[in-house]
Structure 1
Amino acid sequence: MRPDVLNPLFAEVETLPGVGPQVAKLLKRLDITRVVDLLYHLPTGVIERVRAKAAHNSLLGSNVILDVIPMGTREPRSGRGPMRVFASDADGNTISLIYFNNPGWAKKSLPIGEKKTVAGKLEAYGGEWQIIHPEVLPPAQGAELSIREPVYPLTEGLTSKRVRELAAAALERTPDLLEWVEPSLATREAWRTWRAAIAEAHRDPGTEDSRRRLAYDEIFANQLALVLLRQASRRKLGVPLPGTGELIGKLKLPYSLTGAQRRVVEEIRGDMAQSAPMLRLLQGDVGSGKTLVALMAMLTAIESGAQAALLAPTEILARQHHATLLKELDSIGVRVAILTGREKGKARESVLMGLADGSIDILVGTHAIFQEKVAYRSLGLAVIDEQHRFGVSQRLLLASKAERPPHLLVMTATPIPRTLTLTQYGEMDVSRIDEMPPGRTPVETRVISDERLSDVIDGLGRHVSSGGQAYWVCPLVEESEKSDAAAAEERARVLRQRLGDEKVGLVHGRMKGPEKDAVMGRFAAGDLAALVATTVIEVGVDVPNSTLMIVEGAERFGLAQLHQLRGRVGRGSGKSTCLLVRGQNLSETGRARLALMRETSDGFRIAEEDLRLRGPGEILGTRQSGDVAFRVATPEDVAELAPVAQSDAQLLLDRDGGLSGPRGQAARICLYLFERDQAVGLIRSG
């Protein structure tokens, strides 16, 4: 239960004056459902308004406040035209006040012959002065109106004035909260109290100190929650899994581990030998050999008498992992099973029985492997592969499922900037494979205009004729257009006309699992020369003979996605090429992305740039409940303030009495304010 002091902030917006169902519906479009959401719906800038006696050419383009007298109206002949109110200013100039929709409101608000004060942008059109949708102000307000007014992010049906009024009403309900910022930091930064900072951020968006204070608050809540989670996990006793090296020694590897792989394996084995459960993030670029490292971790668990589970983000990748592990482990007596949503009836029951009696050593699958009915005899290690959507809360819940929490290894081939590592994986230790195995050939990347699409198709034809295989990834499609699947089907139809029906396969998200697997199997076996796909092939698909990647509509993809897609080729000994086919209307951001893809294959540099261009909420793909979303803090704020906040959180727990001390009570309020209460609740229960 949240502290009572926060109750007014978490009240529904309908409790504010003038907010009925219709206004609440509009606010919901802006993710505003509670009073606290309004507080953090901060202005993005200000309008500079000029108090003028009369219209003048020098004021064109400016936001003005004028006293006018309505002289006549011209109503729309149809429902589509604008309502015009012709008004006269103090110098006798005629100004058209134009309103689209709701002519009745305009007539009522601007009665003929009655002096009114209006505010809006003065423009010239067709030889006349006009103001579109001016605000009509009470006379006193017109006289006293601030020349600087905050401007809010809006949705259709809400005006900036209305949001300003609602924000003011929310501020009236805002209590003074205990101070959680470390006193010396607050003094050094000359920060105001939380309530004063919120008020100033709404009143004057240009005040950087207040915005920065608010950014720090939510970063501090994030870091404190992660430190608390880390402490809670360290207090729980897991099962030490030191391993014997026997099974690892039996592996028949066609190549030696890189130095980076050996280092990371030792870090993981060192963690697993401890009674405190391992919480480790393994980062490695596409093709760096993370799966082999995970295999050695799983064998270490099995050598110690425990079971291991490998969670993959898609069924395609789960089945690929299953096939790979069977091939590597069957000969050394390690028993591997798979469980996805597709396994039904007797097949599913057989797997569940094998897990319960310990006859299955490694279970591979999708989220199904952690459902309530799935019971392990002795789960010792959980490996989560490419699971950006498996956030802090889910990681903690996974650990809480077992009486003795398993060791946890989270892997990602999407390099994560240090900024996001701190905020999304801050309770974990981090290992990084920063060396590529020998034999990985560099991928040549080219950018080509879609005006030359026929040349690209001809080049694909030559590539296929010479025995090569290729991916063709179709663009992400906007909601207003046809579906991604339809775009892929159309591209496959065109390529089949050129290459032959039997040479082109198609995979998209609307296909059923067995259909996708059948097509992928034919492509992996070399029966298909070209695979047309949506981004379902982004992660983990491994066909070494495929040396050409074509990404259509490349400007619609983020850098991290483009890097992942490029990583599908260059896996064999042949020279590989990635063609990024771009559209005609490139934004500056799109141009910068494609230029960087041409310039570098360094995934960590690409990730840092992707964070700068797209922001933290998007870089790891679809935002899920486990992800950290900051309402005020920018990537630059996080990079600068997260280390400070982490240090402050540790100081609070080590020196200042933790959550039960004087400042700890304020810090607890901060955690609940930023909805880190689930973590606190789990810590209390544990």
Structure 2
Amino acid sequence: MNSQVFQTPIEYLKGVGTARAEVLKKDLGIFKYEDLLRHFPFKYIDRTRFYKIRDINPELPHVQVVARLTHKEILGEKHTKRLIVHAQDDTGVMELAWFQGIKWAEKNLVIGKAYIIFGKPGMFNGKAQMAHPEIEPYSPEALKGKGNVSLQPGYNSTEKLKTFSLDSKGLQKLVAILLDQFAREISEILPQYLLQKLNLMSRVDAYRNIHFPENATLLYEAQRRLKFEELFLIQLRLLKSKLLRTQKFKGNIFGSVGQCFNTFYHDKIPFPLTNAQKRVLKEIRLDTQRGVQMNRLLQGDVGSGKTVVALMSMLLAIDNGFQTCIMAPTEILANQHFISIKQLLGDDFVEVALLTGSVKKKDRKIIHENLENGKLKILIGTHALIEDAVQFQNLGFVVIDEQHRFGVEQRAKLWRKNTIPPHVLVMTATPIPRTLAMTLYGDLDVSVIDELPAGRKPIETLHFYESQRLQMFGLIKREITLGRQVYVVYPLIQESEKLDLKNLMDGYETMSREFPLPQYRLSVVHGKIPAADKAFEMQRFVKGDTQIMVATTVIEVGVNVPNASVMIIENAERFGLSQLHQLRGRVGRGAEQSYCILMSGGKLSREGRIRLDTMVRTNNGFEISEIDLQLRGPGNIEGTQQSGVLDLKLADLATDQEILLQARKIVEDIFARDPQLALPEHQVLHYAFASKNAGLSWDKIS
């Protein structure tokens, strides 16, 4: 095997050259042979079926006929010039039209000769017509699976590429040249026993049939093989990383449950823990006794009680002589954690401090001193926690909230603040579909809090059209009369010429007229106002000084007002499902019935209607996340774009769940019996770690 051949720059492939190479690099990211071979078709056109001319229907996407050319003529002059060719079979006549490439067609098309003609059909003056068809001479060999008479691949191209004759057909020719020359160099990277066990096609056959399938069955088998390989290699790297970490990083042992934990559990916690919370605490307790660094993802829907679990885990660390911290992505969220934890712990129980960019220098200095001398046990903050000046005496437990908003290096800086890396609990309030969690966070252990605290009433979600606005106003007035508070959320801050949306300032004026002083008081919050003003307006609402908060999505996370019972979302069809669910979670935090009103215009896209109907039908965040994944794809779920692990070429996490689960299970089995991949049959897997995107050429790792 020549492992370097697929690293060859694309300009060296026959038929490419310097000029074509430049546009391939710029428009498609094709820099080398490997990139071209992994530029997979996005569709396949069935070239196995032939139509008779009388059966042509202009509604069909494309048709293929065998017909003899009977007549051709050039009509019009200069800018209106066109070539019309008449083609006939035993059922009728159709017209073929060329408005460009006229010289080529006139020179090469021979009257009296039979051709295979393929293209989008149309009708003109009651006669079948086809503009700029693909056309090639007919021969009996063409009907034996040769040439184009098969499942023809369709490749993504661009207008610029087409000027270099690199449309789908042009790219197809380049791929054919590459496969003809170098297919034998494609090395197998899956163990032979695995191919036999799963009845998988060989790698070289898979690449041949993904580009030029002889039939639908072989295409399916090629896709199955390459999808499995893609997901298998992701799981191989994730689980190998997890294995290496457990071998490399020792963890502090929390050997005892002490006074802090027990006092809080028996005397301070204001509500009984749910069974789900107890289960997760037990998982964390076992993790912190093994002498290995814990890395656990805690998923829980809005209001499920993740913060209490995190706090009790930190108290466990404190009982064993360690300091702890929580890192949140925004000051609003950090403040919210600080307030919640102070309320739960009360005064003079455990030393807690808040460190954000807004903390004054003299207060910061005190925090730094108390951290270094070990007096400060719980530090809550933003990115400020990872500054070099922040030095812990003995950091043992780290909680990272909404992990996808932090980079890898930022998280690693926290781990390096202790000789033995602290245990890590990652929390997210965005329910993640199982398949996405297994690829995004596949190297972490996962815990799920899947029940809400007792006494919580499900939020009633309603979809109102613009014509029902007065009904919405009536509901707000009724709730305010009962002493409750209301959020009104808009997608924009100021007018947009492109999107016909209610903007926030117009909405604020409308609400002010409908809910006038002195009977009603309003706050307004959005991303363009200064942080101090934002905090002031937030606090007015938190204290109950205002009854209505008009805001953009800055209130999506970090606002906890149990008295707020109504969430109005304007132009709800413009929001993603995940964001709608997060916004809805701002209410329903008290014992009273809460409402979420989704306002929309009358015209809804199919996806918009599915999103709103889903919100009305269910409060289950995990069910919502699965639908969101199907609608938007993994690359658009918040935070996953930066992950890198989701650079999937073929596999689809929304539809290929079974393949992913199969791949995960097989990798787990492999590492269970051969953690070093030392067995002869696993030697081939060493090559898999050399390439980030599981490419075609592999450099063996040591």
Q: TM-score range by the shorter chain?
A: 0.7 to 0.9
The Cα of 1:486 is off from its aligned counterpart by: 8.5
Distance 1:341 1:21 in 2: 51
Aligned-partner Cα distance in 2 for 1:306–1:331: 20
Residues of 1 paired with 2:689 and 2:490: CA distance?
43
Q: Which of 239, 255, 271 lines up with 1:227 in the alignment?
A: 239
For residue 404 of structure 1, report the CA deviation from its aligned partner. 1.4
Return 57-66 or 594-603, whichever deviates more.
Answer: 57-66
Pick from 237, 242, 245 the counterpart of residue 250 of structure 2: 237
- The answer for the alignment partner of 1:436 in structure 2 is 452
Distance in 2, Cα, partners of 1:243 & 1:95: 86
Alignment partners' CA distance in 1, 2:314 and 2:385:
16
Map residues 125-140 of structure 1 onto 2, 5 A cutoff.
125=124, 127=126, 129-135=128-134
Q: Which moved more, 1:388-397 or 1:465-474?
A: 388-397
3-state DSSP of counterpart to 2:46? strand
Equivalent residue number for residue 193 of structure 2: 184
Of 593, 597, 611, the match for 2:611: 593
**Equivalence map 1:158-557=2 (5 Å):** 158=161, 159-169=167-177, 171=179, 172-173=181-182, 176-204=185-213, 206=216, 207-235=219-247, 236-251=249-264, 252-329=268-345, 331-342=347-358, 351-352=367-368, 354-371=370-387, 374-389=390-405, 399=415, 402-464=418-480, 466-475=482-491, 487-500=503-516, 503-557=521-575
- Which of residues 151, 155, 160 is equivalent to 2:154? 151
Q: Does 1:645 align with 2:653?
A: no
Question: Could you tell me how far 1:524 is from its partner in structure 2?
Answer: 1.3
- Give distance in 1, aligned partners of 2:11 and 2:480: 62
CA contact (8 A) 1:97 1:131 kept: yes
Q: Deviations over 1:315-354 (max 9, x none)?
A: 3211211222344446135333334455575555654555
CA distance in 2, matches of 1:125, 1:353: 85
Aligned residue runs from structure 1 range 35-74, under 5 A: 35-49=33-47, 58=56, 60=58, 61=60, 62-64=62-64, 71-72=73-74, 74=76
What is the rounded CA distance, in whole Å, between the counterparts of 1:182 and 1:298 in structure 2?
44
Kindly indicate whether the alpha-carbon contact (under 8 Å) linking 1:420 and 1:616 is maintained by their aligned counterparts in 2.
Answer: yes
1:29 Cα shift? 5.3
Mapped contact 1:70–1:115 kept (Cα < 8 A): no
Give the SS at the match of 2:641.
Answer: coil
Most deviating of 304-313 and 664-673: 664-673
Q: Deviations over 1:376-420 (max 9, x none)?
A: 332211111232345888767764665311101112222333323
Worse overlay, 405-414 or 150-159: 150-159
Q: Match of 1:520, SS?
A: helix
C-alpha separation between the residues in 1 aligned to 2:410 and 2:157? Answer: 33
* RMSD, matched Cα: 4.0
Q: Is the CA contact 2:299–2:447 (under 8 Å) kept in the aligned structure 1? A: yes
**2:97 matched to which residue of 1?**
97
Secondary structure of the residue that 2:296 maps to in structure 1? strand
1:304 Cα deviation from its structure 2 partner: 2.2
Residue deviations 1:206-238, cap 9 Å, x none? 421111111111111121112212212222212
1:127-153 residue CA offsets vs partner (Å, 9 max, x unmatched) = 565434545769999996412311234
User: Could you tell me whether the CA contact under 8 Å between 2:479 and 2:565 is conserved in 1?
Assistant: no
Between 484-493 and 37-46, the greater mean CA deviation after superposition: 484-493
Secondary structure at 1:518 match in 2: helix
| Paired AA for residue 86 in structure 2 | D
Residue 657 and residue 302 in structure 1: after superposition, are their counterparts in 2 closer, same or farther (change >3 A)?
Answer: closer
Provide closer, same or farther for how the CA distance between residues 618 and 331 of structure 1 changes in structure 2, counting only shifts above 3 A: same
Indicate the SS of the match to 1:491: helix
CA gap 1:41/1:486 in 2 versus in 1, 3 angstroms: farther
Q: Which 10-residue stretch deviates more, 164-173 or 112-121?
A: 112-121
**Structure 2 residue runs without a partner (length 5+):** 162-166
Separation in 2, partners of 1:483, 1:229: 45
| 1:57-108 per-position Cα deviation (integer Å, ceiling 9, x unaligned) | 636443346776763254786xxxxx65232224596736355xxx6xx345
Q: TM-score, normalised by structure 1?
A: 0.84
Residues 239 and 14 (structure 1), Cα distance of their counterparts in 2 relative to 1, 3 Å cut = farther
Counterpart of 2:622 in structure 1 is 604
Q: 1:671 to 1:652 in 2, by over 3 A?
A: same
Q: Alpha carbons of 1:23 and 1:343: their partners in 2 closer, same or farther (altered >3 Å)?
A: farther
**Does the Cα contact within 8 Å between 1:264 and 1:431 map onto a contact in 2?**
yes
The residue aligned with 1:80 is none
Instruction: Tell me the amino acid that sits aligned with residue 202 of structure 1.
Output: H
**2:329, 2:406 within 8 Å by CA — same for their partners in 1?**
no
CA 1:485–1:329 in 2, change beyond 3 Å: closer, same or farther?
Answer: farther
Task: Say which SS state the counterpart of residue 635 (structure 2) adopts.
Answer: coil
Distance 1:10 1:510 in 2: 48
Counterpart-to-counterpart distance in 2, 1:484 and 1:665: 59
The answer to which of 217-226 and 146-155 deviates more is: 146-155
1:242–1:269 CA contact under 8 A, matched in 2: no
Name the CA distance, whole Å, in 2 between partners of 1:126 and 1:454: 54
Shift of 1:569: 0.9
In structure 2, the CA distance between the partners of 1:660 and 1:18, relative to structure 1 (3 Å rule), is same
Separation (CA, whole Å) in 2 of partners of 1:12 and 1:463: 67
Distance 1:564 1:32, change over 3 A: farther
Q: Does the CA contact (< 8 Å) of 1:551 and 1:579 recur in 2? A: yes
CA–CA separation in structure 1 for the residues paired with 2:477 and 2:138? 74
CA distance in 1, matches of 2:619, 2:256: 36
| Alpha-carbon distance in 1 for matches of 2:57, 2:501 | 52
Q: State whether residues 386 and 410 of structure 2, in contact with CA within 8 Å, keep that contact through their aligned partners in structure 1.
A: no
Q: Residues 72 and 86 of structure 2 are in contact (CA less than 8 Å); yes or no, is this contact kept in structure 1?
A: no
Label 1:545 to 1:606 Cα distance change in 2 as closer, same or farther (>3 A): same
1:577 aligned to 2:595?
yes
Partner Cα distance (1:231, 1:497) in 2: 62
SS in 2 for 1:255: coil
Taking the aligned partners of 2:528 and 2:134, their CA distance within structure 1 comes to: 49
The structure-2 alpha-carbon separation of the partners of 1:93 and 1:648, relative to structure 1 and needing over 3 Å to count, comes to closer
Q: Percent identity?
A: 38
Compute the displacement of 1:291 (Å).
0.3
- The whole-number CA distance in structure 1 between the counterparts of 2:365 and 2:500 is 36
Deviation at 1:585, TM superposition (A): 3.5
Q: In structure 1, how many angstroms separate the alpha carbons of the residues matched to 2:485 and 2:194? A: 59
Which residue is 2:164 aligned to? none
**Retained in 2: the 8 A contact 1:476–1:484?**
no
Q: Could you say what secondary structure the match of 2:229 adopts?
A: helix
**2:403 partner SS:** coil
Deviation of 1:488 (Å): 2.9
For 1:624, the aligned partner's letter is Q
Does 301-310 or 254-263 show the bigger shift?
A: 254-263
CA contact (8 A) 2:85 2:97 kept: no
Q: What is the distance in 2 between the residues matched to 1:221 and 1:453?
A: 52
TM score, norm. by length of structure 2: 0.82
1:618 corresponds to 2:626: no
State how far apart, in whole Å, the 2-side matches of 1:268 and 1:279 are: 10
Structure 2 partner of 1:85: 82
Contact 1:307 1:379 in 2 (8 A): yes
Give the whole-Å Cα distance in 2 for the aligned partners of 1:610 and 1:574: 29
- C-alpha distance in 2 between matches for 1:663 and 1:657: 13
C-alpha displacement at 1:445, in angstroms?
A: 1.2
Find the aligned partners of 2:5 and 2:356 in 1 and give their Cα distance: 45
Name 2:650's counterpart in structure 1.
632
Partner SS for 1:658:
coil
Q: How far apart, CA to CA, are the structure 2 residues paired with 1:676 and 1:303?
A: 46
